[in-house]
Every structure is written in structure tokens, then in C-alpha cells.
Chains A and B, each alone.
Chain A
Amino acid sequence: MLDIRNITKVFGGLRALDDVSFSVPAQSVSALIGPNGAGKTTMMNIISGMFPPDEGSVSFNQDVISGLAPAAIARRGLSRTFQHLELFGEMTVLENVLVGRYIKSRSGFVASGLRLPSVRAEEKENRERSLDILASIGLAEKREERAANLPLGEQRILEIGRALATEPTLLLLDEPAAGLNIRETRDLGEMIVRLNADRGITILLVEHDMDLVMRISTAITVLNFGQKIASGKPSDIQRNPDVIAAYLGDEEPPC
């Protein structure tokens, strides 16, 4: 579904990514892991179009998407969350999700200002769908809260909810468990598995929590200093000596 081919990205003198290739199969829960500074977030930003790669290409459903604007990529069904949260803090929880519905609706300035019947119908549908999403992620009761007032864990969940509202076929999650406690992380893991199983959304996640990654992902790619050092099933990755060395520098497994 997503093919990363020979991606290289250089910042100043630093090769943040060096000839990295991997692919994300449809319906999978794939993970991109690696120590700090391995280039994971850089890869996420390249896939979602935040900046272009210096070399290589990204294909999504067989079409090359590297070079397209982030908005154009989002409209193709690839949505993402952010490691450093990018919520619309002054808007309510429900409104955040409703913004996600933007590309799935059409009411323009004049029609909305006049509140034409078509606008009312569309608003009603968007509202229902957004409330469904909030119910499925457990935030229905907080729908009228300002997003900035939510605790960190719920803000991360809300980012996922907002991304879901765009009806993506591929969802990129950038460190969704960062700052969450053990219980919240477990709930998050269950939610990701559910999204994958029930809605058929392919997931690519960047994550530091090895326990979570090993539990929910079906395929893992490991980066270290911008280079791919391994890829495979969780059980293979756990035993891979290069991965163990990259994480710990000795022979203990990474989790």
C-alpha cells in the first residue's frame, strides 16, 4: 500500500535518512522504530509531505506522492497525528473532529453564511459521524470541552479521532504513546488494533514503547542513524543482533 524507495534526506551535514526503503502492506499494523535521532519522525514528515525527500520516492496505492503538498496527500486518504500535538486548542473536542470532516464535505462560504438546506443536511451528517467517532474513542462526554483543556492522554486520542474523521485508508501515528501511563498505553494499543480490525485502516506507527510495538504490530522496520538495519516480524526483530546492539550496545533484548 505504501512503498518507500531509497529515501535520502540531508539536513546540513547530517544524513537524517540514508537510502531507506521499506513498504507497508495493506491492512497491516506496521511500526517504524529506532533509538532517538534515528530519523523516524523525519520519515513520517516525508511520507506526509511536510517536506520533500532529497532522493528517492514514496508511493501510495501505486501513485508517487512524494513532492505533493501535505493537503493533497491527505485528500488521497493518508492521515496522520503529531508527536508534538497540533490540536486546535481553542476549539471544542467536537469541532476538532468536525475539521477532520472538511475534505469529506463541500459547503462553501456563501451557502454556509446563508445556511441553505443543503448546508444544514451536511452539518447534521458531519455531526453524527463525528459523534460516532468520539463515542468509539471514548471522548463523547467531553465533546464540548476546549481541546487544550484535555489531559495529554486524551489530547493524543483526540488527534487520532480527528485523523479518523478524514476517513483515511492509511493512518500514520507519530509516537502516540509518548507521555501516556501504562493503563493509557494499554487502552491506546487496544484502540489501534480495533481501528485496524474493524475499520480496515492500515496503520504505520512510530513508537518508543517497545512493549506496545511488539504487542500490536505485524511488521517492524528498524532505523539507526538514518539507515535501515532490520525489518521483519516482531519475533525476528527481538532476536536480531543488530537491533539489540543499536538499542543497548550489549546482548540483552530491547524489551
Chain B
Amino acid sequence: MTREHGIALLILAALVLAIPSIVTDSYVMTLMIFSGINAIAAIGLCILMGSAGQVSLGQAGFYGIGAYASSVLSQSFGLPVPACMAGAAIVSALAAVILAVPSLRLKGHYLAVATLGFGEIVYIVLNEFGPGGPSGFGDIPPLSFAGVAITEPAHVAWTVWGFLLLVLVFSLNLLNARPGRALRALHGSETACSAMGLDIVRLKIKVFVLSAVYASIAGSLYAHYVTFISPSSFSFFHSVLLLMMVVLGGITTVWGGVIGAVIITLLPETLKSFEELDVLAYGLILTLSLLFLRRGIVPIVIDKFRTSERGHA
């Protein structure tokens, strides 16, 4: 991890500590919690797209598995929530392996198509066979740690963003070590990677599993926070939303996922004042940013900052 990342992490940690202590408004807390949950899933997609160059259109599927598996494990078997989240992550990882092994052996965007189908299958299965069917189920045990329930909005915000910080540290460590360098190299030249002896298919499968695990953790956090879930939260629309977060924020750095997630989560709320026109404004903003901010917000800002820094030196 470089010094810049370390500083950025410290600033983020300070903000995470400060905001819930200063702002007591429960609506702001809710937005902060949802941004954090989305960011965890977005970071995984960011690494998948920015390194392996693969697109997933089914992250909501893993998000859904994370939510349902963790809920069922805690509600029906009474297991502690952290253990249920880990269990759900394992289920998601297995699903990701089963999905990735055949589709990543083929060259091209077969994974995108496979994930699209996967997301739909999870959605249909949750509707047909999930507890409560299309209307979902409630009374999911809240987040807890060592038997102490975490229900206070500020505490939930700290927990979610604490997870986010851990995910960020893990991801940055990974990206700046052997496997992460290999992943970034994959984005540069697959031909050179194979000449360097890298097993490209294996790397792609692993990074896909990683993205699935992150989405699963996000889904579990969501379920134990809202304590009531239904399949509609895990539809194709949510996969597209995650994709938008990553594209808007920028795929070349994990910070793109965080910033993109915060913006996409807050945008519909700030546009509410437009009343019926909010969907229109939402679409317009996204279209314009895809046209004019193609590389994503974070990489553009970093470049601007570096050039001005050089100008002063």
C-alpha cells in the first residue's frame, strides 16, 4: 500500500468516526449505512472490471445470496450473526466458482452473459422458493457482535463502514502485492502475462470469487440492518446500479467504487425535490457523466491533482 492510500484511509476513518457522532439525524445515518453497504459490493466489481477486464451483470445475485443465506442461518439455526455472514460468503464463493470455471475458460465476455443469467436465476429462486416468496420475510436478527445487538443507527453506521475499511485495506494490500500486480498486468497485456507464466484463467476465477464474497458481505449487512428482506431488492436493477457506481467512480482504483457508491446512493435522494422529474434528472446526470467523465470521477480527480502538484514543484 502506498502512502497516498494510507492517508486516504486515515481521512476516511476519521470521517467515519466523526459523522455519526456529530450528525444525529436518522435519515442521514440511513443514507450513510446504505452508501457503505453499496460501496463494499462496488469495490469487488471495481477490482473485477479494472483488473481482469470482466463485467458482471449479476452482482445482485451474490448480494441476494449473502442476504438470504445469512438471514436463514441466523433465524432458523440461531447462529451468531458474524458466523452466518461467513457462512453466506462461503456459499457465494462456491456459486462464483461454479459459474466462473466454465465461462472464464472461454475467451471474451462469456462471464458477463453467464452472470446475467445467474442474477435472474437467483431472483427467480428467491421468488419461488425463498422464505415468504415474493413478499419476503422479516424478524431477521439484527447485527450483533459477541452476543451484543447493534441496532443504534450510529453503531450500525460504524459497523458497516468498519467492514468497508477492512475491505479497503484487504483490497489495497492485495492489489499492491503479487496477486494484485498480476491482476493489474492482466488489464495491460494478456499476451505478456502468459509469457510471464501467469495462469490467466485461475487469476480471473479468483478475482471473480473475491467480488462475489464482497457482494455477499454487503448483502448480509443489508439483511441484518433492515431485518426484513424480499427478492425485489436483489433484482437485475440492483446489478445495474452497482455497475453504474463503479463506472461513474472509475474502475482503475478501488476508491472509484467507494465514491461511485456514495454518489449513486445519494443522488436519488437529492433529486427528490424535482418531484416527477427526478427519474429524468437522474438519467440525464448519468448519461452526461458517462459521456464526459468516461474514465470515472476518481481517476480524473487524481490526474488533475498530480498535474497541479507537478506544476508547483
Contact = CB atoms under 8 A, between A and B. Distances in A.
B197 A82 contact: no
B188 to A, nearest CB: 3
B202 to A, nearest CB: 10
B173 A115 contact: yes
Interface string B167-187: 000110110011111101101
Contacts of A255: none
A58 to B, nearest CB: 15
Contact of A102 (B187, B188, B189, B198): B198
B192 A113 contact: no
B195 A79 contact: yes
Given A88-B189, A166-B196, A114 B173 contact: yes
Given A71-B197, A112-B173, A91 B189 contact: no
A99 B195 contact: no
B224 to A, nearest CB: 23
A87 B195 contact: no
A87 B180 CA distance: 16
Interface string A94-126: 010011111101111100111100010011001
Contacts of A63: none
A101 B177 CA distance: 11
Interface residues of A, number: 40
Contacts of B252: 90
B308 interface: no
B195 A91 contact: no
Contact of A88 (B171, B173, B192, B199): B192
Contacts of A102: 178, 181-182, 196-198
B193 to A, nearest CB: 8
Given A71-B197, A86-B195, A126 B189 contact: no
Contacts of A99: 181-182, 185, 193, 196, 198
Given A88-B184, A109-B210, A113-B171, A123 B197 contact: no
B295 to A, nearest CB: 12
Given A82-B192, A88-B188, A88-B192, A112 B197 contact: no
Contacts of A119: 177-178
A79 B193 CA distance: 11
A180 interface: no
A74 interface: yes
Nearest to B191: A86
B174 A113 contact: yes
Most buried by A among B173, B189, B191, B192: B192
Using C-beta atoms within 8 Å of the partner chain, give the interface range for chain B.
20 to 34
A153 interface: no
Contacts of B182: 99, 102
A99 B178 CA distance: 7
A105 B179 CA distance: 10
B73 interface: no
A48 B195 contact: yes
A150 to B, nearest CB: 14
A75 interface: yes
Given A88-B192, A99-B185, A105 B197 contact: no
Nearest to A76: B197
Contacts of A50: 191
A195 B19 CA distance: 58
A149 to B, nearest CB: 13
A91 B181 contact: yes
A96 B181 CA distance: 9
B26 interface: no
Given A71-B198, A113-B170, A113-B173, A98 B181 contact: yes
The 5 closest A-B pairs by CB, nearest first: A88-B188, A74-B197, A112-B177, A86-B192, A103-B197
Given A82-B192, A88-B185, A99-B198, 12 more contacts: A69-B194, A74-B196, A74-B197, A82-B195, A86-B195, A87-B192, A90-B188, A109-B206, A112-B179, A115-B177, A119-B178, A126-B178
Interface of B: 170-171, 173-174, 177-182, 184-185, 187-189, 191-200, 206, 210, 252
Interface of A: 48, 50, 69-72, 74-75, 79-80, 82, 86-91, 95, 98-103, 105-109, 112-115, 119, 122-123, 126, 162-163, 166
